[in-house]
Amino acid sequence: MQGAIRRIERETEAMNRQAYNTAALSGGAFAGKMPTYDKAFRKKLQQGARQSAEVLEANLRALAIAWGAKAGG
């Protein structure tokens, strides 16, 4: 599973680099408003705090109600 995660991260990085370079070469950088690559594509997002079981259950119940689920089914 870790190998698949690394492969997807490499592919995403390559696509992001290509999109950034295309934008830079097609005039985005000439206006002087194009952010640096690192600002545009952050490496890692900070992981937030884990939800407690009670909060998770409450959120799941709210989704079930919103999607029209019936109790006990």
User: pTM (2 decimals)?
Assistant: 0.51
Question: Residue 10: is its pLDDT beyond 90?
Answer: yes
d(CA 51, CA 57): 10
Question: Residue 72: is its pLDDT beyond 60?
Answer: yes
> Which run of H or E residues covers position 54?
helix 53-66
Phi, psi (5° rounding) for residue 48?
Answer: -80, 175
Write the CB contacts of 40 (distance below 8 Å, at least 6 apart in sequence). 16, 20
pLDDT tens-digit readout, 23-50: 888 876 676 778 888 888 876 666 778 8
Joined tokens for residue 36: 């640096």
The domain segmentation of the chain, as residue ranges, is 1-42
